[in-house]
Each structure stands twice: as structure tokens, then as C-alpha cells.
Amino acid sequence: MKTNSVKIFLSVVIIVSVVSSWAHYSVKPIDKAMWLIGTWENKTSRGSVYESWKKINESELAGKSYAVKGTDTIVFETVKLKQEGEGLYYIPTVRNQNDGKPVSFKAYTITDYKMVFGNPEHDFPQSVSYTKVNADSLVAEISGVKNGNVRHQTFPMRRLK
């Protein structure tokens, strides 16, 4: 009787371990960012700025921020949103900044509706966040200290496609 109880107990422990391990690894941090995919618009007093995201592979999204002036597209920045191990990184390359080199921000908050990335060593911003308001609306924000002053900028966007 004891042998059967031990076998049943061990079987249950193994099954629970496998299922919880599978559940833990089935949702990767990058999976929680898939709602970004598409084209978003931020209307400003000087015209619209767009942010477009696409899936590159299972561990990376690529984004770009740009404006359209007549027939010209002016790209302000390109971004990689990349999963490395258990970490998620926001890696922008901004035109005319950082000698054209990418800067890495590590995610420290990842939920189904919000991602916050930080790099305390960067001049400005030190924090970048995306908050999903609903399926067709988000708010991007950059914040940090610049010239001794705390600053932040918000960019409300609506989904175009």
C-alpha cells in the first residue's frame, strides 16, 4: 500500500513540475510585447509621427519612428526589441545621437499592458515605457534627468493598422 502511495505521490509531483515548468517557459517576455505589432500614429502640431513594429522572429521585434513629408520618409530612430535569455531589451539607434550607435535599455516591468525599460547610465532618457490603453491606443513615454532636471515626454498614439 505504501509503495503505491509513494508512486502516486511521485507521479503527481513530476506532472506538476513538468506542467509548471512548461507554463513558465511558454510565455516569454517578448510574447507580452506582440501587441505593439502594427503602425501607430502620434499627431503633433507639426504633423504626424509614426511608429511601426513588425515581428522579425520568435525573439525579436523591429520598430522604426518616422515622419512623412510630401514624398519623403524621415526616419528618426530604429529599434530592436529583443529577448536575450530571460531578459527583454529595447535597443534604439537614434539619428544624430550617440554617434549613431545603439543604446540598450533592459526591461524591469513587463505585463500584458505595460513595458518599462531602463538604462541609468544613459544621458537622456533613462527610462522608456509603453502602456497599452486599449487594442487601438497606447502611450509611449521617455523620462529621466537632463541637465539636473527631471523631464518626461509622453506620446499618445492610435493604431492605424
- Higher model confidence: residue 144 or residue 6? 144
* pLDDT digit string, tens, across residues 66-121: 999 889 999 999 999 999 999 999 999 998 888 889 999 999 999 999 999 999 99
Question: How far apart are the C-alpha atoms of 23 and 19, rounded to whole Å?
Answer: 6
pLDDT of residue 53: 98
pLDDT of residue 5: 53
Burial (Cβ within 10 Å: 0-12, 13-18, ≥19) of residue 23 = exposed
The domains located in the chain, with CATH, are 28-159 (2.40.128.20)
Phi, psi for residue 144 in degrees, rounded to 5: 155, -165
The DSSP result for 88-153, as a single string, is EEEEEEETTSGGG----EEEEEE-SSEEEEE-TTSSS-SEEEEEEEETTEEEEEEEEEETTEEEEE
What's the one-letter identity of residue 117?
Answer: F
Q: Which residues contact 65 (CB under 8 A, 6 or more apart)?
A: 49, 50, 51, 75, 76, 77, 79
Q: Which residues contact 20 (CB under 8 A, 6 or more apart)?
A: none
Mean confidence (pLDDT) of the chain: 88
pLDDT at 16 over 80: no
* pLDDT digit string, tens, across residues 33-67: 999 999 999 999 989 999 999 999 999 999 999 99
* pLDDT digit string, tens, across residues 106-135: 999 999 999 999 999 999 999 999 999 999
pLDDT at 21 over 50: no
Q: What is the rounded radius of gyration, in angstroms, for the C-alpha atoms of the chain? A: 21
pLDDT of residue 4: 56
pLDDT at 151 over 90: yes
What pTM was computed for the model?
0.82
How far from 133 is each of 78, 97, 112, 155, CA to CA, in Å? 23, 30, 11, 12
Q: Which residues pair with 32 in a beta bridge?
A: none
